[in-house]
Structure 1
Amino acid sequence: MKQKTFLFACGGTGGHVFPAVAIAESLKKFGVEQISFAGRKDSMESRLVKPRFEFDEISAVPLHRGSFMQNLSLPYKLFKAVQSAKDVIKKRKPDVVVATGGYVSLPVVMAAGRMGIPVYIQEQNAVAGVANKVGSRYAKKIFVTSAEAQKFFPNTETQVFGNPVRELPKIETLPRPKEFREGTKSVLIVGGSQGARGINVKMEESLSAIAGRTDISVVWQAGAKNVENIRERVSHIPENVTLTAFLDNIYAYIGHADLIVSRAGASTLAEILAFGKPSILFPFPFATANHQEFNARVVEKAGAALVELDSDPNDLWNKVQTLLLNEEKLNKMAQAAKSIGMPDAADQIAKTILDAEC
C-alpha cells in the first residue's frame, strides 16, 4: 500500500494549531510518515510546528467579518495567497489536506480543492470560523465538536467528535499539587498566560469570603502581567489561596481539581472535558463572533458547566461554594463532562481519514 502524504494548514492562534498537531501526532502513531504543515513566516504556527514537523511558509490574507471596506482588496490578495499555496502543494504532493482554521488555512484548502486533492476540515468552536465556512465547499468531510456547529455546514458531510487534544496523562500518574492541601476541596482558577481580567476582578471581590472557607484550597493563576498589581491592590491574600502568574505541570492541577473556573476557548475546554472536570465558565467577551459564549453554552446545556458572563453580577464564589457543597451535582457535572469530552478525538479523526483514503 502506498504511503499517504499529508499536508496540514492552520494558524493564527493556538486554538487552531494545537488540534492540527494532535491529529498529525495521531497519524504518526498510525504509521504515517510524510506529514508537513503550511503557515505564515514568523508566526505562532511556525513556532509551534517547526520543532515537530516540516514547515512551508505561505502568504495569507486576513478575513474580516462583515467589513466591506476591509475586504475590498480581498480577491486580489486571496488570488496571490492561493498561488503561494499551490507552490507548496506542488512541492509536497500531498494525497490529503487537513485544515483546522485560521485565515492562513483558506488558500491551502482552495488550492487543494481545485487540484482535486481530498480536503478534511476540523472546526473547534460552536460558531464556525470564516475560513472554515468559506472552505467547506471544497471539503470532503468536516469534523465538528457539537451538533450546534453542524448547522454552519449544511452542504457538507459532518461528523461530531470532541476537540482534538494532545495525549493527556492519566490522573493517577499526576502528583497532587502541594497547594491543594490534603483534606480540602480543590478549586483551580485559570486564565491563561495573560490572565482573564473578568475572572480576576471577581476573584479580588471574593477574597474576604474565600478566607472564611479553610476547607477549600484555591489556586488562582492570574497571568504574568496581573499578579504584582493584584498584590499591590489587595492587602492580604488568604492562606487558602495561592496566587500565581504561571503553573508548571498544569495537568496536575487540572487532574486534582474538584472544580475549575476558566475562560471558554476551544482548546482549554477540550482539556477540561477530556479530564472529566466540572467547571464554571467565563466566556471572553471580545472573542470573534462571541464564539466563547456559544462554546460555553453548549457545555452548560450538556450539564457539565455553569456559565457566568463578565458583565453579570458577581456570583462566582457563591457558585463555587454551592457546587462544592453538593457532591451529587458535582458528580453529575463530572459525568456529563466525560460524556462530551473525547480524549481520543485526534485518534478517531485520524482513523476516519485513513479509513477513507487508504
Structure 2
Amino acid sequence: MKKQTIVFTGGGSAGHVTPNIAIINELSRNEWDIHYIGSKKGIEKELISEINIPYYGISSGKLRRYMDKENAKDLFRVLKGIIEARKLLKRLKPKLIFSKGGFVSVPVIIAASSLKIPIYIHESDLTPGLANKISQRFADRIFTSFDEAAAHFPAGKTVAIGSPIRREIFSGDKERGKAFLGFTDEKPILTVMGGSLGSKKINETIRDSLQDLTSIYQIVHLCGKGQEDESLMNIRGYRQFEYISNELADILAATDTVVTRGGSNAIFEFLALKIPMLIIPLTKKQSRGDQILNAESFYKKGFSLTLEEETLTRGSLFESLDKLEKRRSQIINNMQSSLMSDALSVLIKEIHKHR
C-alpha cells in the first residue's frame, strides 16, 4: 500500500511537542510519510531533530491577548508564515494535519484549510490557548485532555479523550532506576520536576530544605538547564540533573512521590503511572493561569494536592508533603479508578481513517 503523508505542527513549549512525538512514534514509517512544521528557532526544532523526521521552519508571530506595538509586526510574520506553510503543503500533499497548538500552528492550519486538507487539533489544558481558539473554526475534529475543556469547543466535532501518553514512559524498571541513582530501599524516593527550564523558587526551596528532606526521602531533582548547584553534588540521598531523557522511565518507576508543575502532559503521565503528586502550578504572572486550573481539576478528582508558588516555603512544602503521604492510599485508589481513556490509541485509530 502506498505511503500516505501526514504533517504535524505545534510548538513554543515542550508541552506542545511531546504529545506529537508520542503519536509519531506509534505510526509505522512503512505506512506514513511523516513531516513536521514548526518555528525557525523554537524548542520544537530541537526535539523533533531527535526522532529523525523532516522538519520545516516557518515564520510565526507571538499571539497576544493585549495591546502591544509588536502586534503589527507579528501580524506580518503570521501572514508570511501562512504563505510559507501553503507552499510547503502544496508540495507535500498531506492527507491530514495534526496540531498540538502553540502560535506556530496557526499559519499552518489556516494554510491547510485554504487547501481543503483535513485538520485535527488536540487541546491539553482545561481552557484553550489562543492558538486553538483561533484554530477551532478550521478544524475537522477537536480532541481535549479534560472533560471541562470540551465545553469551550463546538460540541459536534469535539471529544474529551485524555492526554496522549508516551508508551516508553511505561517501560521503566524500578531496580534499574535505583541503581542509576545510587539509591536504596531505605527511604522513599521523591522526584522534583520544575519544568524544562526549571523553577528558581522550587529549586531554592528544595535546596534550603535538603537537610530535613533527606532525613525522610531520597531526592531526584530535575532542576532545569543551567540550574545545577555544584556545591550540593556530594550530598547523600540527593541527585540533581538539568534534564533526564533515556533514564526517565526508570526513575519514575522508582519514584514514590512527585513534586511537579501543573503542565497537562506531565500530570497526565503521573496519573497514568499512579504516582501521588504535589502540584505547584505556574502563577498567573508567569502564564495565562492554565496550570492553576489543571491543578484544581486534578485536586477535585482526588489525584493530587496543590501548593501555590506564592505560598511556597520550607514550612508549607513539608506540610503539603505530609498531607500527601497521609492521603497516599486514597489518591492511588482514585487514580486506579480513573476512567481516562487511552488517548494515544484513540488518536492513532482516528489518524488511520485517513489511510
In the TM superposition, residue 68 of structure 1 has moved relative to its aligned partner by 5.4
Q: Is the 8 A contact 2:221 2:238 kept in 1?
A: yes
1:168-187 pair list within 5 angstroms: 168=168, 169-172=170-173, 175-178=176-179, 179-187=182-190
1:136-175 pair list within 5 angstroms: 136-154=136-154, 157-168=157-168, 169-172=170-173, 175=176
- Give the 3 Å change call, closer, same or farther, for CA 281–63 of structure 1 in structure 2: same
Name the residue aligned to 1:109.
109
Per-residue CA shift, 1:6-31, capped at 9, x if unaligned?
111112211111111211222327x6
Q: Is the 8 A contact 1:82 1:108 kept in 2?
A: yes
- Give the 3 Å change call, closer, same or farther, for CA 81–341 of structure 1 in structure 2: farther
Secondary structure at 1:27 match in 2: coil
Match of 1:337 among 335, 340, 343: 335
> Is 1:201 aligned with 2:204?
yes
Secondary structure at 1:71 match in 2: helix
Per-residue CA shift, 1:297-331, capped at 9, x if unaligned?
1211211110001111531112223333x3xx313
1:286-325 pair list within 5 angstroms: 286-312=285-311, 314=313, 315-324=316-325
Name the residue aligned to 1:346.
344
1:52-63 pair list within 5 angstroms: 52-63=52-63
> Is 1:190 aligned with 2:193?
yes
Name the residue aligned to 1:23.
23
Greater mean alpha carbon deviation, residues 186-195 or residues 10-19: 186-195
- Give the 3 Å change call, closer, same or farther, for CA 59–155 of structure 1 in structure 2: farther
Identity among equivalent pairs (%)? 27
- Give the 3 Å change call, closer, same or farther, for CA 106–219 of structure 1 in structure 2: same
Distance in 2 separating the partners of 1:156 and 1:139: 12
Per-residue CA shift, 1:157-199, capped at 9, x if unaligned?
2111222232223345762414442142222122245332222
Q: Is the 8 A contact 2:14 2:196 kept in 1?
A: no
Amino acid at match of 1:118: P
Q: Which runs of 5+ in 1 are unaligned?
A: none
Distance in 2 separating the partners of 1:19 and 1:341: 20
Per-residue CA shift, 1:11-52, capped at 9, x if unaligned?
2211111111211222327x6321111122243222222342
Amino acid at match of 1:40: S
Distance in 2 separating the partners of 1:173 and 1:95: 41
Distance in 1 separating the partners of 2:10 and 2:193: 25
Aligned residues: 347
Greater mean alpha carbon deviation, residues 87-96 or residues 251-260: 251-260
Distance in 2 separating the partners of 1:109 and 1:71: 20
Amino acid at match of 1:26: E
Q: Is the 8 A contact 1:164 1:343 kept in 2?
A: no
Q: Is the 8 A contact 2:145 2:160 kept in 1?
A: yes
1:87-98 pair list within 5 angstroms: 87-98=87-98
> Is 1:257 aligned with 2:258?
no
Distance in 2 separating the partners of 1:212 and 1:276: 24
Amino acid at match of 2:31: V
1:38-57 pair list within 5 angstroms: 38-50=37-49, 51-57=51-57
Q: TM-score, normalised by structure 2?
A: 0.86
In the TM superposition, residue 100 of structure 1 has moved relative to its aligned partner by 0.8
Q: Is the 8 A contact 1:222 1:245 kept in 2?
A: yes
Distance in 2 separating the partners of 1:62 and 1:331: 44
Name the residue aligned to 1:284.
282
Q: Is the 8 A contact 2:36 2:53 kept in 1?
A: yes
Provide the alpha-carbon RMSD of the alignment: 2.8
Secondary structure at 2:121 match in 1: strand
Distance in 1 separating the partners of 2:44 and 2:9: 9
Secondary structure at 1:63 match in 2: coil
Q: Is the 8 A contact 1:37 1:55 kept in 2?
A: yes
Distance in 2 separating the partners of 1:338 and 1:112: 40
Greater mean alpha carbon deviation, residues 80-89 or residues 175-184: 175-184
Q: Is the 8 A contact 2:173 2:249 kept in 1?
A: no
Secondary structure at 1:175 match in 2: helix
- Give the 3 Å change call, closer, same or farther, for CA 243–76 of structure 1 in structure 2: closer
Name the residue aligned to 1:227.
228
Distance in 1 separating the partners of 2:44 and 2:187: 40
- Give the 3 Å change call, closer, same or farther, for CA 174–272 of structure 1 in structure 2: farther
Q: TM-score, normalised by structure 1?
A: 0.86
Distance in 1 separating the partners of 2:78 and 2:332: 45
Q: Which runs of 5+ in 2 are unaligned?
A: none
- Give the 3 Å change call, closer, same or farther, for CA 139–220 of structure 1 in structure 2: same
Per-residue CA shift, 1:108-144, capped at 9, x if unaligned?
1111112211100011112211111101101011111
Greater mean alpha carbon deviation, residues 272-281 or residues 152-161: 152-161
Amino acid at match of 2:256: D
Greater mean alpha carbon deviation, residues 311-320 or residues 176-185: 176-185
Per-residue CA shift, 1:206-235, capped at 9, x if unaligned?
34433553xx32333334534327749xxx
- Give the 3 Å change call, closer, same or farther, for CA 7–241 of structure 1 in structure 2: closer
In the TM superposition, residue 155 of structure 1 has moved relative to its aligned partner by 5.8
Amino acid at match of 1:20: N
